[in-house]
Amino acid sequence: MTLRRRLLTERAGMTGPERSRAGRSLRDAVLSLPEAQMAGTVAAYISVGTEPDTRGLVYALWKRGTYVLLPLLLSDNDLDWASYEGPDSLAPGPRGLLQPTEPPRGPAAVTSADLVIVPALAVDRSGLRLGRGGGSYDRALGRVGAAVPTVALIYDGELLDEVPAGPRDQRVCMVARPGEGITRLR
């Protein structure tokens, strides 16, 4: 069984309340980050399926006055970005995603973020993340400057010694885990 399939199977075994609890813990961990407290703009995402719940985090960032950018999946798997204007500003998008209904700002809009929050199935101790295989977030992270903090949201047990990586894979500098909080990787 491949690592990606194993992780997806483990996530599928979690209950909705477990994912919600994890989401609340991750929300609190990220909101306590100095980088999040000082950020004027945060690029984030709305979780789907078995991902740790991010709705509370996105809402809390927006409610405290942070400008939140959310991705719009393009046909080539790249990401465009649009602003989040509250829970009513989301609509169904491709592949079961919830996406903002505000006008797209272009793939380069992520470069305006002071903090970038990304999904991952696992992250290794060097910061390489294992995603779902489409390369969307690797492209987005490739546009972000090295000085911009990046954090992947994962469950406990998903920070690994090593994940498979290719030449286009991008690193994150932190992970947030429900039971461990923030771990800085580089």
Of the candidates 147, 76, 75, 85, which has an alpha carbon nearest to the alpha carbon of residue 111?
147
Which CATH number covers residue 11?
3.40.50.10420
d(CA 116, CA 107): 14
Give the burial string for 165-180 (b: 16+ CB within 10 Å, else e): eeeebbbbbbbbbbee
Positive or negative, the Cα torsion across 147, 149, 168, 129?
positive
pLDDT value for 62: 98
- The DSSP symbol for 171 reads B
| pTM metric for this prediction | 0.95
Distance in angstroms (rounded) separating the CA atoms of residues 35 and 139? 22
Q: How many independent structural domains does the chain possess?
A: 1
**pLDDT given for residue 67 in this prediction:** 97
Query: What gap in Å lies between CA 153 and CA 51, rounded to an integer?
Result: 9
Q: Which tokens is 9 given? A: 């199977």
User: What is the mean pLDDT for each group of 10 consecutive residues in the chain (186 residues)?
Assistant: 89 93 96 97 95 95 97 94 96 90 96 97 95 90 93 97 89 97 92
Its domain, for residue 89, covers 3-184
